[in-house]
Amino acid sequence: MSFLKPAIGIIIAVLLFCPVYAQQKKNPQVQPAAPVEPKKPVYTGKDIPQGPLENLMVKVGAGGVTKGDYDFFMLKTANKAGKTVSALSGDEKKQALFSAIDEELLFQAALAEGVLKDEYTCWMILGTYKSNNTTAKIDPRTFSDDELEKFYKANPGKFTRPASVNAKGLKFMTESVQEVQKVLKQVTTNPDSAKNWIVLGWIEEGRMAAGLPQQITDPITKLKKGQLSGIVNDKISGWKFIFLATDRKEPELIPFAEAKGKVKFELIGAKQEEMKKKLAADQGKGQKGLSEDEILLNSAIQAGAQRELQVRRYIVEWYLSKKAAKREQALPDLKKKYKIEILKSE
Average pLDDT, the chain: 86
Confidence of residue 15 (pLDDT cuts 50, 70, 90): very low
Please provide the size of the chain in residues. 346
Mean pLDDT of 247-269: 95
Q: Using CA atoms, how far apart are residues 168 and 170, in angstroms rounded to an integer? A: 7
Residue 130 near residue 296, CB atoms below 8 Å = yes
Q: Is 127 helix (H, G, I), strand (E, B) or coil?
A: helix
What was the pLDDT predicted at 34? 47
- Cβ-in-10-Å burial (0-12, 13-18, 19+) of 102 comes to buried
Residue 255 has pLDDT above 90, yes or no: yes
Task: Give the integer Cα–Cα distance in Å for 79 and 87.
Answer: 11
Gap between the Cα atoms of 256 and 267, Å rounded: 14
> What is the rounded average pLDDT of the residues 264-270?
95
Higher pLDDT, 286 or 105: 105
pLDDT digits (tens, 9 = 90+) for 298-311: 999 999 999 999 99
Q: Are strands 63-66 and 56-60 parallel, antiparallel or unpaired?
A: antiparallel
300 in Cβ contact with 126 (< 8 Å): yes
The closest of 96, 101, 105, 98 to 71, measured between CA atoms, is 96
Residue 346: per-residue pLDDT: 63
- Report whether pLDDT(20) > 70: no
Nearest 5°: the CA angle 152, 154, 158 is 60
What is the per-residue pLDDT for 33? 47
Domains identified in the chain and CATH numbers: 56-139+291-342 (no CATH), 163-250 (3.10.50.40)
Element (H, E) at 199: strand 198-204
pLDDT for position 164: 92
Whether pLDDT at 13 is above 80: no
Helices 309-323 and 119-133: angle between axes, nearest 10 degrees: 170
- Taking 60 as the threshold, does the pLDDT of residue 24 lie above it? no
The pLDDT tens digits for 125-179 are 999 999 999 989 999 999 999 999 999 999 999 999 999 999 999 988 877 888 8
Nearest by Cα to 229 from 148, 169, 289: 169
**How far apart are alpha carbons 216 and 237 in whole angstroms?**
13
Phi, psi angles (nearest 5°) of residue 165: -130, 135
CA atoms within a 13 Å half-sphere pointing along the CA-CB vector of 294: 12
Position 195 confidence tier, pLDDT thresholds 50, 70, 90: confident
What pLDDT, on a 0 to 100 scale, did the predictor assign at position 40? 81
Tens of pLDDT, residue by residue over 58-111, are 999 999 999 999 999 999 999 999 999 999 999 999 999 999 999 999 999 999
Q: Which of 128, 120, 131, 107 is nearest to 50 (CA)?
A: 107
Q: How confident is the model at residue 17 (pLDDT cuts 50, 70, 90)?
A: low
Q: Partners of 65 in the beta sheet?
A: 58
Please state whether 334 falls in left (phi above 0), alpha (psi between -120 and 50) or beta: alpha
Q: Is the pLDDT of residue 3 over 60?
A: no
Of 326, 325, 338, the residue nearest 65 (C-alpha):
338
Higher model confidence: residue 247 or residue 28? 247
Instruction: State the pLDDT at residue 286.
Output: 67
Kindly tell me if the per-residue pLDDT of 22 is higher than 50: no
pLDDT value of residue 157? 93
DSSP bridge partners of 12: none
Q: How far apart are CA 182 and CA 240, in angstroms?
A: 13
Q: Are 248 and 164 in contact (CB under 8 A)?
A: yes
Maximal CA-CA distance, the chain: 91
Which pLDDT tens digit goes with each residue over 177-193?
888 899 999 999 899 89
Share of the chain above pLDDT 70, in %: 88
